[in-house]
């Protein structure tokens, strides 16, 4: 199904700015950083942006907005960017909607990128719609695939609808830039090429204290955990775990295997695991070497989000559960018996 954002907006009584598309060029990725590196989702988006830019014959630009992030320009170029715009200011050190939207909107209005993409992360989900509204353009949110119609120079964003039961491809034919957010784990980052060359441009930023409406109070920093989209090993629990206590055991196994714990949509909805751990078509898409699905039935939205797994092990009491059709190895049994045995076996193997 192809949806036209201009048509939808007209139905709702609003209008998108109709702009001469010819004056817009290049694909931009609004970067996020994690622990002094480009976030994995940014590297993935750069990889896809590079492929799409080559189809359209345009450049890829990365926007590094924050404080003291200019050192990441080389990483952005190595991952496929031709140009890096640096917006640096001490007031941009912490993400705040108002201080980020203003300079980004000004830069986009000045440079006129054809396509602007960012991760459908907590920050991207807040920033992208505000930016799109400011620019009077459409936003294709939470895409799992990004393509282009080379003839019409249209961005085609495919996104799950009706809780992931239907995939819809959406385009924004008239307004520019065309904007999209994409879910983490949907694209592959290119292997870094440190011989690539790109240009770096410092952009003057004019945010002031007066632009800041909300303020953060510093609290005890949480120990950063491995994100589910980066983890080589994932131990994921579903509704069959029947409570948050069981996740402590899954976490122990995950730690022993050098990985992280994750959860199905249901387990997160029940409050047994945090939302950033969710593996689902509408959340994180994962590509681990090993994925142990515990008490997870293998419903379609979960299957789609784990397609990139190299080896899937399923533990389930129901021999007819669909997860066994997807699994490389299956254990029919109660996790309460299987997981302690696995923990014991891994500990023993580690001492040998
Ligand atoms: C509140 C809520 C909101 C939702 N919203 C959405 C949505 O927006 N979009 C969407 O796509 N989906 C949604 N879903 C559905 C959800 O995505 C799927 O149902 C989910 O992926 C399936 O989760 P699951 O496999 O953990 O649970 P289930 O499908 O219930 O599977 C549980 C599995 O655990 C096994 N099991 C039970 N006990 C044990 C045991 N002791 N040991 C081992 N195995 C055991 C069972 O045999 C079963 O196969 C929602 C669900 C809920 C509850």
What is the whole-number distance in angstroms between the Cα of residue 144 and the centre of ligand 1?
21
Q: In ligand 1, which atom is closest to the CA atom of 296?
A: 25
- Are residues 273 and 139 part of one domain? no
> What mean pLDDT value characterizes the chain?
92
CA angle in degrees (0–180, nearest 5) for 318-322-324: 75
Instruction: Give exposure, 176-197, as e/b (b: 16+ Cβ within 10 Å).
Output: bbbbbbbbbbbbebbeeeeebe
* pLDDT (average), residues 72-88: 98
Find the residues whose C-beta lies inside 6 A of ligand 1. 163-164, 238-240, 264-267, 269, 280, 282, 295-297, 299, 301-302, 315-318, 321, 334-336
Give the nearest ligand 1 atom to 300 CA: 21
Q: Whose CA is nearest to atom 31 of ligand 1?
A: 297
What per-residue confidence (pLDDT) applies to 212? 76
pLDDT at 300 over 60: yes
Q: Give yes or no: residues 60 and 105 share one domain.
A: yes
CA-to-CA separations, 79 to 27, 119, 185, in angstroms, rounded: 14, 16, 16
Q: How far apart are CA 268 and CA 255, in angstroms?
A: 20
pLDDT category of residue 287 using cuts at 50, 70 and 90: very high
Q: What is the pLDDT of residues 93-102, one digit of tens each?
A: 989 998 999 9
Closest atom, ligand 1, to C-alpha of 334: 42
> Is position 98 within any domain?
yes
Distance of alpha carbon 26 from alpha carbon 41, whole angstroms: 20
Q: How far is the CA of 303 from the centre of ligand 1 (A)?
A: 12
Q: What is the mean pLDDT of residues 246-251?
A: 96
Same structural domain for residues 124 and 269?
Answer: no
Q: State the distance from the centre of ligand 1 to the C-alpha of 236, rounded, in angstroms.
A: 12
- Answer yes or no: is pLDDT of 8 > 80: no
Structural domain contains residue 218 = no
Tell me: pLDDT of 255 over 60.
yes
Instruction: Pick the atom of ligand 1 nearest to 301's CA.
Output: 11
pLDDT the model gives residue 213: 75
Give 327 Cα–ligand 1 centroid separation in angstroms.
Answer: 17
CATH number at residue 292: 3.40.50.1220
Question: Mean of the pLDDT values across residues 293-311?
Answer: 95
Q: Whose CA is nearest to atom 4 of ligand 1?
A: 266
Per-residue confidence (pLDDT) for residue 216, from 0 to 100: 64
268 and 321 share one domain: yes
Residue 35's pLDDT band (cuts 50, 70, 90): confident
Ligand 1 atom with the shortest distance to the CA of 336:
41
Which residue has its alpha carbon closest to ligand 1 atom 47? 318
The answer on 186 and 238 residing in a single domain is: no
CATH code of 148's domain: 3.40.50.620
Nearest-CA residue for atom 36 of ligand 1: 240
**Which atom from ligand 1 is nearest to the alpha carbon of 267?**
26
Locate the ligand 1 atom nearest the alpha carbon of residue 297 and give its number. Answer: 49
Name 43's Cβ contacts closer than 8 Å, sequence gap at least 6. 79, 189, 190
- Cα 271 to middle of ligand 1, angstroms: 13
Ligand 1 mean position to 263 CA, how many Å?
10
User: What's the CA gap between 161 and 169, in Å, rounded?
Assistant: 10
Classify 243 in phi/psi space as left (phi over 0), alpha (psi -120 to 50) or beta: left
Least confident interval from 80-84, 164-168, 289-293: 164-168
Residue 123 Cα to ligand 1 middle (Å):
27
Question: At residue 231, does pLDDT exceed 70?
Answer: yes
| 223 located within any domain | no
Q: What is the torsional sign of CA 225, 228, 234, 240?
A: positive
Distance 297 CA to ligand 1 centre (A): 6
Which residue, judged by its Cα, is nearest atom 23 of ligand 1? 266
Give the pLDDT band (50/70/90) at residue 16: low
Domain annotation covers residue 316: yes
Residue 70 phi/psi, 5-degree rounding, is -60, -25
Q: Do 77 and 204 reside in the same domain of the chain?
A: yes
Tell me which residue range forms the domain holding 165.
2-211
What is the total count of domains within the chain? 2
How much is the average pLDDT of 170-179? 95
Q: 264 with 124, same domain?
A: no
Model confidence at 332, in pLDDT bands (50, 70, 90)? Answer: very high
CA 246 to ligand 1 center in whole angstroms: 15
Separation CA 227–CA 276 (nearest Å): 8
Tell me the CA–centroid distance for residue 240 and ligand 1, in Å.
7
In a domain, 155, yes or no: yes
- 217 occurs within a structural domain: no
């Amino acid at each position: 199904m192809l949806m036209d954002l201009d048509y939808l907006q007209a139905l709702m009584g609003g209008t998108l700015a109709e702009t001469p598309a010819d004056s817009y060029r290049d694909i931009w990725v609004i970067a996020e950083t994690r622990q002094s590196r480009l976030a994995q989702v940014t590297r993935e988006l750069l990889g896809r942006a590079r492929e799409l830019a080559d189809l359209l014959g345009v450049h890829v630009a990365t926007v590094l907005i924050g404080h003291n992030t200019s050192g990441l320009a080389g990483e952005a170029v190595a991952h496929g960017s031709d140009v890096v715009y640096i917006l640096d200011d001490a007031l941009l050190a912490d993400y705040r909607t108002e201080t980020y939207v203003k300079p980004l909107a000004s830069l986009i209005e000045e440079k006129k990128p054809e396509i602007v993409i960012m991760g459908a992360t907590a920050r991207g989900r807040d920033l992208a719609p505000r930016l799109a509204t400011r620019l009077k353009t459409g936003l294709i949110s939470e895409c799992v695939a990004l393509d282009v119609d080379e003839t019409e120079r249209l961005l085609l964003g495919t996104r799950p609808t009706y809780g992931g039961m239907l995939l819809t491809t959406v385009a924004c034919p008239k307004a520019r830039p065309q904007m999209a957010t994409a879910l983490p784990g949907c694209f592959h980052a290119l292997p870094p090429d440190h011989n690539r060359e790109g240009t770096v441009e410092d952009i003057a930023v004019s945010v002031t204290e007066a632009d800041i409406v909300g303020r953060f109070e510093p609290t005890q920093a949480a120990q950063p955990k491995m994100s589910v989209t980066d983890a080589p090993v994932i131990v994921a629990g579903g509704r069959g775990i029947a409570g948050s206590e069981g996740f402590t055991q899954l976490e122990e196994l995950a730690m022993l295997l050098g990985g992280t714990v994750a959860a199905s949509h249901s387990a997160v909805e029940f409050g047994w695991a945090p939302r950033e751990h969710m593996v689902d078509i509408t959340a994180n898409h994962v590509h681990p070497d090993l994925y142990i699905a515990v008490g997870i039935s293998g419903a379609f939205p979960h299957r789609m989000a784990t397609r990139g797994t190299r080896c899937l092990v399923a533990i389930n009491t129901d021999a007819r559960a669909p997860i066994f059709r997807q699994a490389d190895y299956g254990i029919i049994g109660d996790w309460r018996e299987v997981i302690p045995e696995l923990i014991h076996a891994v500990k023993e193997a580690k001492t040998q």
